[in-house]
Chain A
Amino acid sequence: MYGAPPRRQFLALGVLVIAGFVLPYLLPDYFLYIGNVLMTYLVLAIGLDLLLGWTGQFAFAHVAFYGLGIYGTALLHMRLGIPFVFGMPIAAAGAALIGLAIALPATRLRTVYLALATFAFAECAQWVFRTWDSVTRGPDGLRMSAASVFGFSVGNDREAMPVIAVITALVLAATFYLVRSKLGRAFCAIRDSEHVAAASGIDVRRVKVLAFVISAFYAGIAGGMYTLFQSYVHPDGLGVWTLVLLLTMVVVGGSGSIGGMVLGVLLIGILPEVLRAAPRGLLVWQEFAYGLILILAIMFMPRGIWGLFTKSRSA
């Protein structure tokens, strides 16, 4: 894509921010919680898709960076008193740096090995979260105190929503510009043909690494968002299962488009809650449901729901 983002996209962002400030007065806490969760998922999903859909790389390491963002932001606040406004960017930058360390060797690998290597890294990270209990309180989970944003205490869904909405809007705006930039086109070129990309002057390795780093940064930001409205983090939520959840959102929504991410998050993100609320607690069907959805989606709707409404890109 090219040029400047269309005005309607900024309009949508405006609506999002206003909703973030107004809805806490109108809706019960549970719905605000869902809203916060969905916005966090959106930032995560976009970060994942930057690698998966736009650059064509596997990004199973994504949840590890999410965890780094969560623990980083929370611990910087609780142990060092660093307020959220600085803590989150620092934690996200930390995640990005580790993303860089992983990306440098990983981008030499062919796609399937890359999938395996990032998978292994994610599992490693989860093991570290579990085992380094002096820092993360390991399997007991970490209780997080309310964050401090510009002096305001933000510890529950009502207080968090405006902040989360603003962060989401900023991330979306940045993404709008990114996908229309030289770098965004380089991502797509690499996905379609690394040879053509290189012959056009694109430093393929460098751009792949950049995609990794940016993706990790997004995950780190999402981690920071998490600390605003959640009071507890446990390593079990930072493993492959969460990644599969994200993957389902990306695939069902429509990989390669921001609109697809929004759709995917809206549809799939609420599933756990729907299952939880169902009679006889259908939560145990989660895994089966997601597995089935993934398979059906990739068989019949490979471009996602968004893809049903946009024109195909191949003959």
Chain B
Amino acid sequence: MSFFSLNGVTMRFGGLVALNRFSMDVEQGSIHALIGPNGAGKSTVFNCVSRFCQPASGEIVLDGRQLLGEPAHRIAGLGVARTFQNIEQLHQMTVLENVLVGLHSRVAGYVPFLPGSARRNAEGAAIREADEILERLGLQSFRDTYAGQLDFGRQKMLDVARALAARPRLLLLDEPAAGLRNREISFIDGVLLDLARKQGITIVLVEHVMQLVMSVADRVTVLNFGEKIAEGAPAEIRANPKVVEAYLGVEAAHA
């Protein structure tokens, strides 16, 4: 049984079937890409895992643990972290605060109104760890800048930093390369490979930027109209006529 899998997940929004008996298996420590044209259902997969919507049927399993019975806020504690598309960010909080929020599930609780050693210790440890994470990802000098004021590439890096703060075993990245320049994409490339190979974090990314997908993914799943139409190594997928058809239309596939 693989480390993370979706089995037969069907998600409906009113009359629209966003996912139709979708299944996907992800090996531990691998980088798995989920691609497909716009509206194919990729974000829906993430939203199901994050528990923002409830599938009509199917199951989602992480390391033997069923996720569909859990409320959204428990997912982080189970080892899943995720990034969001740029619209949904903690824009009005500083870079450091963003990472502190990411640490939320790991900081010890304390009474918010009182001074005292429990608070001092918990806050101190959290701030130290947050600073370390920022250092590692090159954001330390922006520590007290509001997230909304960072340039685009750094905002995405911050989002990753926030997700990593939860020490996830499974990291879901929602279009990490969208809007980035080539140099930045290479940087992300390196970060992802480091996370997966050296730190053993399993990564699933939804992505449109093929450059990134081809260079980091171990395996690619292709979605169209809520159904899996292809799955395999990046090179196979690229050559698959069904995939080309989905993106470019029937004629291009048979060109």
Whether a CB of chain B sits under 8 angstroms from the CB of A191 is yes
Partner of A183, one of B74, B96, B112: B112
A185–B123 touching, CB < 8 Å: no
Query: With an 8 A cutoff between CB atoms, is B148 at the interface?
Result: yes
Q: Shortest beta-carbon distance, A193 to chain B, in Å?
A: 5
Q: Is B90 an interface residue (CB 8 A)?
A: yes
Contact segment of A13-21, A197-205, A223-231, A293-301? A197-205
Question: Are B146's CB and A200's CB within 8 A?
Answer: no
Q: How large is the interface on B (under 10, 10 to 19, 20 to 34, 35 or more residues)?
A: 35 or more
Contacts of B110 in A (CB 8 A): 181-182
B78 CB to closest chain A CB (Å) equals: 10
Partner of A198, one of B50, B114, B119, B162: B50
With both chains docked as a complex, state the minimum distance between the C-beta of A212 and any C-beta of chain B, in angstroms.
Answer: 15
- Shortest C-beta distance, B142 to chain A (Å), equals 13
Q: Which residues of A contact B72 (CB under 8 A)?
A: 198-199, 204
Q: Contact between B115 and A177 (Cβ–Cβ < 8 Å)?
A: yes
Contacting residues, chain B, for A198 (C-beta < 8 A): 50-52, 72-73
- State which of A1-9, A150-158, A282-290 sits at the interface with chain B: A1-9
In chain B, positions 116-174 with a C-beta closer than 8 Å to chain A are: 119-120, 122-123, 126-127, 146, 148-149, 162, 166
Residue A254 CB within 8 A of the other chain: no
Chain B: minimal CB distance from A182 (Å): 6
Judge whether A178 is part of the interface by a CB distance below 8 angstroms: yes
Cβ–Cβ contact A314 & B91, under 8 A: yes
Interface assignment of A192: CB less than 8 Å from any CB of chain B: yes
Which B residues, 79 to 108, have Cβ-Cβ distances below 8 Å to chain A?
81-82, 84, 88-93, 96-97, 100-102, 104-105, 107
A143 contacts B by Cβ under 8 Å: no
* Contact of A193 with B73 at beta-carbon distance under 8 Å, contacts A178-B112, A182-B109, A201-B166 already known: no
From B112, B115, B120, B166, name the one whose CB has the most chain A CB atoms within 10 angstroms: B112
Tell which of A184, A195, A204, A312 touches B50, judged by Cβ atoms closer than 8 Å. Answer: A195
Q: How far is the CB of B243 from chain A (nearest CB, A)?
A: 30
B43 CB to nearest chain A CB (Å):
11
| A52: interface (CB < 8 Å) | no
Q: A200-B104, A200-B162, A313-B146 are in contact. Are A192 and B91 (CB under 8 A)?
A: yes
Closest Cβ of chain A to B113, distance in Å, is: 4
CB distance from A196 to the nearest CB of B (A): 6
- Tell me which residues across on chain B come within 8 A of A191, comparing CB atoms: 92
Contact of B112 among A182, A197, A204 (CB under 8 A): A182
Asked if A200 contacts B93 (CB within 8 A), the reply is no
Q: Whole-angstrom distance between the alpha carbons of A2 and B98 in the complex?
A: 11
In the complex, A91→B93 CA distance in Å? 35
Residues of A within 8 A of B146 (CB): 311-314
CB-CB < 8 A to B101: which residues of A?
185-186, 189, 196-197, 200, 202
Q: With A and B bound together, what is the CA distance between A195 and B49 in angstroms?
A: 12
Instruction: Determine which of A177, A183, A195, A312 lies in contact with B52 in the assembled complex, contact meaning CB atoms within 8 Å.
Output: A195
In the bound complex, what is the Cα–Cα distance between A181 and B97 (angstroms)? 11
A193 touches B88 (CB 8 A): yes
Mark contacts of A54-67 with chain B using CB atoms, 8 A cut-off: 1 yes-contact digit, 0 otherwise.
Answer: 00000000000000
* Selected contact of A199 from candidates B81, B91, B127, CB within 8 Å: B81
Please indicate the chain A residues that have their CB under 8 angstroms from the CB of B96 in the complex: 2
Given contacts A182-B104, A199-B75, A199-B82, contact A313 B91 (CB under 8 A): yes
List A contacts of B88 (CB < 8 A).
Answer: 193, 195-196
Which residues in B have their C-beta under 8 angstroms from that of A196? 84, 88-90, 101, 162
A315 located at the interface, meaning its Cβ lies under 8 Å from any Cβ of chain B in the complex = yes
In whole angstroms, how far apart are the Cα atoms of A26 and B13 in the complex?
68
| Chain A minimum-CB-distance residue to B76 | A201
A174 at the interface (CB under 8 A from B): yes
Assess whether A160 is interfacial by the CB under 8 Å rule. no
- Which B residues are in CB contact (< 8 Å) with A314? 91-92, 146, 148-149
Q: Does A96 lie at the interface of the complex (its beta carbon under 8 Å from any beta carbon of B)?
A: no
A256 to chain B, nearest CB (A): 8
Q: How far is the CA of A204 from the CA of B148 in the complex (A)?
A: 22
Interface centre among A178, A189, A199, A312 (most CB of B within 10 A): A199
Report Cα–Cα, A200/B75, bound state, in Å: 8
Docked CA distance A77–B41 (Å): 62
Cβ of B84: which chain A residues have Cβ within 8 Å of it?
A: 193, 195-196, 199
Q: A200: which B residues are within 8 A, CB to CB?
A: 76, 81, 101-102, 104-105, 162, 166
Closest A-B pairs by Cβ, 6 of them: A201-B105, A201-B76, A181-B112, A198-B72, A314-B148, A183-B112
Q: List 13 A-B contacts (CB under 8 A).
A: A2-B126, A177-B112, A178-B113, A185-B100, A195-B50, A195-B52, A196-B101, A198-B52, A200-B102, A200-B105, A256-B92, A313-B91, A314-B92
